[in-house]
Chain A
Amino acid sequence: GDSVTQMEGPVTLSEEAFLTINCTYTATGYPSLFWYVQYPGEGLQLLLKATKADDKGSNKGFEATYRKETTSFHLEKGSVQVSDSAVYFCALITGANNLFFGTGTRLTVIP
């Protein structure tokens, strides 16, 4: 069945470090891929998305490229800030209501 596997955390980085959070997926169709972010005490909010192979989603300095050949959608940011501390979820949707989330990766950025 369809699924998402993402890098387990927690991840702790110093401010201005480079961030990568790995995400791979299994899907029978042609999914759309998402990264959601959850700040402490809040619900999830969309960070970025990509709807087809080779698309790059970007927002707030974060980027992820939809790689069909490696079934991956890794999240990257060149220089993290303390305000980026949150839990990040990779997700895919393959059709009406077939939405799957990864288990989440907690990122802590220290000054």
Chain B
Amino acid sequence: NAGVTQTPKFQVLKTGQSMTLQCAQDMNHNSMYWYRQDPGMGLRLIYYSASEGTTDKGEVPNGYNVSRLNKREFSLRLESAAPSQTSVYFCASQGLADTQYFGPGTRLTVL
């Protein structure tokens, strides 16, 4: 039982490059989330998926797209990376009693 896994752990991009962050959970949860964590700002919700086949915008969706590939997997795509997207990205899934389970994070730097 791995919980929530994310790949890659670290990534460096140049401005304008694209990439996809992968997330998978093995807890059979319906809801999954993508957050970014920036110093002094806590976690901010980028997108979420309440169930397979559905996605919705969170607080800071601009510059990102998501895909809920199946119940296990929820990916985040940056089509044209910008320095403002330098951050640590966390994927989470939500279980019973609204408890969220987080992955280990992806540290992204955009030059």
Contact = CB atoms under 8 A, between A and B. Distances in A.
A103 B56 CA distance: 23
Q: Interface SS of chain B: helix, strand, loop or mixed?
A: strand
Nearest to B90: A43
B40 A103 contact: yes
Interface of B: 4, 31, 33, 40-43, 45, 48, 50, 56, 90, 92, 97-105
Given A93-B98, A97-B31, A97-B56, A43 B4 contact: yes
A102 B105 CA distance: 18
B90 A49 contact: no
Given A44-B90, A49-B97, A49-B99, A101 B31 contact: no
Contact of B43 (A42, A96, A101): A101
A96 B97 contact: no
Interface string A88-107: 01000100110101111000
Interface of A: 32, 34, 36, 41-46, 49, 51, 89, 93, 96-97, 99, 101-104
Lowest 6 A-B CB distances belong to which pairs?
A: A43-B102, A103-B42, A101-B43, A101-B42, A44-B102, A93-B98
B76 to A, nearest CB: 15
